[in-house]
Amino acid sequence: MPTKREIHELVDQLPEEEVPTVHRILQVFCADQAWRSLLNAPYDDEPETEEERHAVDQARASLDRGKGIRHEEIRREFGL
Q: What does the pLDDT read at residue 50?
A: 96
- Supply the mean pLDDT for the chain: 89
Nearest residue to 26 (alpha-carbon basis) of 10, 47, 43: 10
Residue 79: pLDDT band (50, 70, 90) is confident
Q: What does the pLDDT read at residue 15?
A: 94
How far lies 50's CA from each of 4, 34, 43, 45, 60, in Å?
45, 29, 20, 15, 15
Which residue did the predictor score with more confidence, 5 or 45? 5
Q: What is the pLDDT of residues 7-39, one digit of tens each?
A: 999 999 999 999 999 998 888 778 778 777 887
For the full predicted model, state whether its pTM sits above 0.75. no
